Amino acid sequence: MKTFIQLSVTLLYFLFFSNCTNNSIQMKIPNVIFFLVDDLGWSDVGCYGSKFYETPNIDKLANEGVRFTNAYSACHVCSPTRASILTGKYPASLNLTDWLPGRKDFPFQKLKNVEINQHIPYDISTLPKTLKNNGYKTAIIGKWHLGEDDDTTLKQGFDSHLPDWNKGWPKEGYYFPYGMKGLEVGDEGEYLTDRLTNEAIKYIEHNKENPFFLYLSHFAVHDPIEGRKDLVKKYSNKLKQIDPPKGKPFILEINPDNKESITRIELDSLLENNKYKGYKIFSNESVKIKQHQDNADFAGMVESMDESLGRIMKKLKELDLDQNTVVIFYSDNGGMSAANFYFPDREISKQGIDKAFSTSNLPLRGGKGWMYEGGIRVPLIIKWPGKGLQGAVSNFPVTSPDFFPTILEMLGLEAENNNQKEGISMVPLLKGEQKLEREAIYWHFPHYSNHGNQSPGGAIRSGDYKLLEYFENNTVQLFNLTEDPGEQNDLSTKEPELVNKLRLLLTSWRKNVNAKMMLPNSEYDASVKFD
């Protein structure tokens, strides 16, 4: 009897503490790492179809999580998308619809660019604010580009920010010395992507006992196009060993809002004209679009960024944090298939401009600065250990305002106010559901783009269909993205009822979010040409 009692007590003791241990494991708060890449195109990743760039660590993450094939950025340039990630709101709601500080007006523009907020409104409850109020350590390492006030990151809920540099590009390039506060000490030849990764690893090690939100926001693969030297050499050699890609290295793409259309045959013939070589391509009418992934410098940038992700994942495993850390891999907009045309009077060599075209977004049309799929469809992978699917693919359209409610639901938290209503949680998709209850995804860009000189406008995707609406001449385009992901077959004249329906939805949405619209440019001069 005595022995039985002793065994019973021992068993109860074991069960009690075992249960406590299990509960402590279950109750351990997950960490979140948001791994954000700048200007990485949808097809710049191996698991999305690239045959030239090597991204084994991103591909591995896709096998461990859910890969989204129809993920979108809220804008085709960086700052608006970044604002939407941190707020769960569309850029139009924030009146932050262009990169900061924004593009100035020129006399060849019929409309004036909308004046925008120079930071996220401070009364908005951001993701880092919410997480910080729930016991999280919060940090941004890398690119901010959401306001130039000295303490703007602190006001948005981050405990720390490195480096103290708020422009959209690395000040002195990708090699030390960087010229950015907080990164004054370094080794000769040190590469910025590697350095930011080192700082991120230090942060993870320092906070391994605390729940943390790490917003690792790489400057790469934004210009200047400077790959790490060893990787540039690797891809230069690779180019020598493979067959050269077939077809033209560039095509000309017409501004879709032009009233006078130019046929594809006419555009192709212009490439044979000397005045269209290099920079001088009459960019107010057409723009050069890169067709091949064959830039060794850019390839080196892509692989160094992939290495960064691999090092982060390895460190999580070493610290036994890999099963308790949500990892999100994402790009802020599409790939750079057209060079930056911000300065209308700039002229550079043919070799120089051709190097500035960093990648091809095929089979998607266009690139950064365009509302075509190449400018807004981006890679997205989410790993949610123990909860989300592994090696799964979701084809349902999602967008950057969805991150806020998704992360909160994954962590079991509630939004602190009613501001975050525009995004929809992706959690059902991560668990295997096929769709969300969503009528449409919207875009609003009341500015002229300096990438490809695209006209201002808006867009809506509802189901299979996407409508693009341009503000200068009130023109539209309509595409069935399931049948025509490259957006080559404009259906707007064949489907007038659908055009009207989607335009009404887009107009209604703009009213609901109080989207700012462009006004006529009083200094417009039709005789002034962009070129």
Cβ-proximal residues to 302 (8 Å cutoff; 6+ apart), any chain? 40, 44, 53, 54, 55, 220, 221
- For 265-319, the pLDDT digits (tens) are 888 887 777 766 655 544 556 778 899 999 999 999 999 999 999 999 999 999 9
The pLDDT-based confidence of 106 (bands split at 50, 70, 90) is: confident
pTM of the model: 0.92
CB distance 161 to 196 below 8 Å: no
CB distance 236 to 242 below 8 Å: no
Q: Give helix 296-318 / helix 229-241 axis angle, nearest 10°.
A: 120
Q: Give helix 403-411 / helix 78-87 axis angle, nearest 10°.
A: 30
Looking at the predicted structure, is the pLDDT value of residue 13 above 60?
Answer: no
pLDDT reported for residue 108: 81
Strands (E), 314-379: 325-331
Give the residue-averaged pLDDT of 369-373. Answer: 94
Domains with residue ranges and CATH for the chain:
36-103+114-438 (3.40.720.10)
Q: Both ends of the chain: CA-CA distance in Å? A: 99
Lowest mean pLDDT among 88-92, 209-213, 221-225: 221-225
Nearest Cα residue to 441 out of 464, 407, 475: 464
pLDDT reported for residue 387: 96
Lowest mean pLDDT among 39-53, 300-314, 453-467: 453-467
Q: Measuring CA to CA, how many Å separate 215 from each of 46, 189, 274, 289?
A: 23, 25, 46, 32
Q: What are phi and psi of 439, to 5 degrees?
A: -80, -40
Query: Hey, is 27 helix, strand or coil?
Result: helix
Query: What mean pLDDT value characterizes the chain?
Result: 89
